[in-house]
Amino acid sequence: MVLDPDGTPLPRSGVQTGRAGYFDLLAQTYWGGILTGDRITVHYDDECAAVGRGPWIEDNVSASAN
pTM of the model: 0.78
Q: How confident is the prediction along the chain (66 residues), in pLDDT tens digits per residue?
A: 999 999 999 999 999 999 999 989 998 999 899 888 899 999 998 777 776 778 889 999 888 665
Q: How many helices (H) and strands (E) does the chain have?
A: 0, 7
The Cα–Cα gap between 21 and 6 comes to 13
